Structure 1
């Protein structure tokens, strides 16, 4: 079969799927290049022959094809996938270590490897192996640990192990970060554990430290997006933060009960991130390409390239240290302070506090800018109107984890759970001619999936086949399967799976008054229905109890931002 747009011969089975994650690399790269050129043309009301001919030369196509692509771009959503010329079969995935093992490696590298004692990698691996065995985890190989160590910031690692003099040569290399001259030209993103113990909504007892993912507009120094979660940083965290950044925040602030102004929103031209695994996934990369967002990674050994977001997060944590229940930056700073005993804020109340604090910061004069970040943002939007997103779910879906499955007469089966909708029937009738489908799934709520239309390139929401099943999270589903395996179940059926989830929830609810982990599990589960109806990652807070501390202080240390 011949592709009329100049890609040559393409296998017919490869053309049976169309979409962001199904296009082969060379086809997708062509679509992205087309989107850059056609997107520029589409900003004008009319496109004359001179501009069309210039675009044709740049893309290596005819003038007629340029106008055809322009029409598709304007008729569609202005996405790169509108210009994908071909389709392909599914790609390949990759195996990841369980998160508890990754956590052990991170903690040991941080505490044992990055220190003046300069322990060898072999000694560090022995400590990782010891901790994994104590926790009943699989011991990673030394090579795996070495690869994790290689991802560490070379400058910070060398400074911690050998001192600043040894790291000076690394810091001097590479020059300065490229200049940023407009709002949303570059947004820096990063994660951190929050230096605060939070409590659950029901018992008001400690459940541990949450995580913060923040997105900062470099030009204006405005915080354009953030998300607070009880889950460790992941590709989903990045997608949630990006979704928060591009959306109008008025509805979100109203749901939080916060009377504040936070007008910063819009699609960034580029996100600037470190080299962590959650920033390297194919779903994030192609999701950003779908929406015209470039992803750039910091050069290894040049931490000052991403210093703006790190300074913002550092200042946030300094302010958090004033809240009851803070863990401070390290045990030495904490001393004998009882973080668990003093903890009073829930995740929702912490999110409200951060929203107020960020809004206050936007109104403070920034020493580097010479004016408030809000003023710089307002001046920037007067020149260039940001591209905002109204469809929260549609945007977030492009950043959710990807699964590939074959369609059967009864729908899709994922991890022993069946999904079905009458809208699948036309595809079922010709399923023998269709390859595996691309599915998206939100780990916070498995009660529905999104199926990529093999013809139109849009997503269709498909619920449980058995609608009586309750929404569950991915971690609940995985824990239930593991428990059934422990009981000797060679085959796990859907009924047994949901029955086990209910049993585990009952046990967890009973233990929540006394067990920290159980309270954290209950709190994670409590966010499931909220995630379907409100902003990504948000938690609707309960009525504020008497004496609760959720009052934001203005950001005083603007120098750090």
Structure 2
């Protein structure tokens, strides 16, 4: 974990939706590789294009212990011991790697942030070779697009598509811990997991994170807002906590607050105090609100505007999301053998 290389790629596969199993398109993969051992430290699959959010979530996954993660995916017979706070990151010059969320998070945790020299792609060769290896594995899965139209030939990627995003994540995790980590690496002349364990036996385990949630918050996207008499307001949603009373009392003398939020769960935000010393967790002002994702939020707003709403408010957004979920449940119930995605039950993607 002294040096991680991180990069993104569109995945060579067409995925389907959870309810109707209709083609949705290609997801994106963000992946982090430990340069020393060539072990995969963490990854993220998402339909959203690469962003500061995907980078932050990938880093948090890389740093976190993965026992519970594998158990949640139903992978009980494999281990993924790769975790710890990275010593440094090696990335390209894309905008998401220059974000305030990433630079501040790295500064806070003593992680060196190194950029490839411009026009020197070979400097990121390790992670790019890894991506090539993972895509070769993907080419074995139904719905693959292969690497190019010539290789795909007459294969009907849309017609053969059958995996959802959640199923691909499970497949990817199993491919990592059950195949890639245990295969002989041509450059190392030993399996990546064997090199990892040998490195740990010599120099000790990397420094671990003590609070996974706090570490994640430090890499979440940054917004700035002023505190008002009602608390904070972000994208039509009000957030309030009694812990804000001292700030509210001084609001006329306070500037903008730095806010972080997890796009997978808009039920709360994290506000940094003006001295930059601690975050205050602030829930929705209405505690009975659904826990929704930023993707659901944007879908609801777009739908309301498409209906001709000149004014979009918090109540209408949550009603729209609730209606969308009910439609999905009804559609799933009408199709035998279709299971509801976990996000509709837990409200967190």
Instruction: Map 1:442-481 onto structure 2 (within 5 A).
Output: 442-455=262-275, 457-481=277-301
Query: 2:114 matched to 1:293?
Result: no
Query: Aligned pair in 2 of structure 1 residues 331, 341: CA closer, same or farther (>3 Å)?
Result: same
Question: Shift of the alpha carbon at 1:494?
Answer: 2.0
Q: Over residues 57-87 of structure 1, what are the superposed CA-to-partner deviations in whole Å (9 max), with x where a residue is unaligned? A: xxxxxxxxxxxxxxxxxxxxxxxxxxxxxxx
Query: Aligned pair in 2 of structure 1 residues 276, 509: CA closer, same or farther (>3 Å)?
Result: farther
Unaligned runs of 5+ in 2: 334-339
Question: Shift of the alpha carbon at 1:486?
Answer: 4.9
- Give 1:378's aligned residue: 197
TM-score w.r.t. the length of structure 2 is: 0.89
Query: Aligned pair in 2 of structure 1 residues 242, 377: CA closer, same or farther (>3 Å)?
Result: same
Query: Counterpart of 2:193 in 1: which secondary structure?
Result: helix
Distance 2:49 2:130 in 1: 20
Equivalent pairs counted in the alignment come to: 342
Query: Counterpart of 2:347 in 1: which secondary structure?
Result: helix
Task: Choose which of 168, 172, 190 in structure 2 pairs with 1:354.
Answer: 172
Query: 2:51 matched to 1:231?
Result: no
Task: Choose which of 274, 278, 284 in structure 1 pairs with 2:96.
Answer: 278
- Give 1:426's aligned residue: 246
Distance 1:408 1:419 in 2: 10
Unaligned runs of 5+ in 1: 1-183, 514-521, 532-561
Instruction: Map 1:204-283 onto structure 2 (within 5 A).
Output: 204-258=21-75, 259-283=77-101
Q: Is the 8 A contact 1:200 1:523 kept in 2?
A: no
Query: Counterpart of 1:238 in 2: which secondary structure?
Result: helix
Distance 2:200 2:30 in 1: 24
- Give 1:498's aligned residue: 318
- Give 2:151's aligned residue: 333
Q: Is the 8 A contact 1:271 1:294 kept in 2?
A: yes
Q: Over residues 518-553 of structure 1, what are the superposed CA-to-partner deviations in whole Å (9 max), with x where a residue is unaligned? A: xxxx9796497344xxxxxxxxxxxxxxxxxxxxxx
Question: Shift of the alpha carbon at 1:485?
Answer: 4.2
Q: Over residues 189-244 of structure 1, what are the superposed CA-to-partner deviations in whole Å (9 max), with x where a residue is unaligned? A: 11111111223333333322222111111111111111122222111111111011
Deviates more, 1:348-357 or 1:300-309: 348-357
Query: Aligned pair in 2 of structure 1 residues 477, 197: CA closer, same or farther (>3 Å)?
Result: same
Q: Is the 8 A contact 2:15 2:165 kept in 1?
A: yes
Task: Choose which of 292, 308, 313 in structure 1 pairs with 2:126.
Answer: 308
Q: Is the 8 A contact 2:292 2:348 kept in 1?
A: no
Question: Shift of the alpha carbon at 1:186?
Answer: 1.3
Q: Is the 8 A contact 2:264 2:348 kept in 1?
A: no
- Give 1:22's aligned residue: none
In proportion to residue count, which structure has more strand? 2
Task: Choose which of 149, 157, 160 in structure 2 pairs with 1:342.
Answer: 160
Query: Aligned pair in 2 of structure 1 residues 365, 445: CA closer, same or farther (>3 Å)?
Result: same
Question: Shift of the alpha carbon at 1:489?
Answer: 4.3
- Give 2:2's aligned residue: 185
Q: Is the 8 A contact 2:100 2:222 kept in 1?
A: no
Distance 2:59 2:345 in 1: 19
Q: Is the 8 A contact 1:473 1:525 kept in 2?
A: no
Distance 2:108 2:259 in 1: 16
In proportion to residue count, which structure has more helix? 1
Query: Counterpart of 2:6 in 1: which secondary structure?
Result: strand
Q: Is the 8 A contact 1:247 1:390 kept in 2?
A: no
TM-score w.r.t. the length of structure 1 is: 0.57
Question: Shift of the alpha carbon at 1:392?
Answer: 2.0
Distance 1:331 1:261 in 2: 37
Distance 2:299 2:166 in 1: 26
Query: Aligned pair in 2 of structure 1 residues 527, 249: CA closer, same or farther (>3 Å)?
Result: farther
Distance 1:482 1:264 in 2: 40
Distance 1:527 1:236 in 2: 23
Bigger radius of gyration: 1
Distance 1:507 1:336 in 2: 36
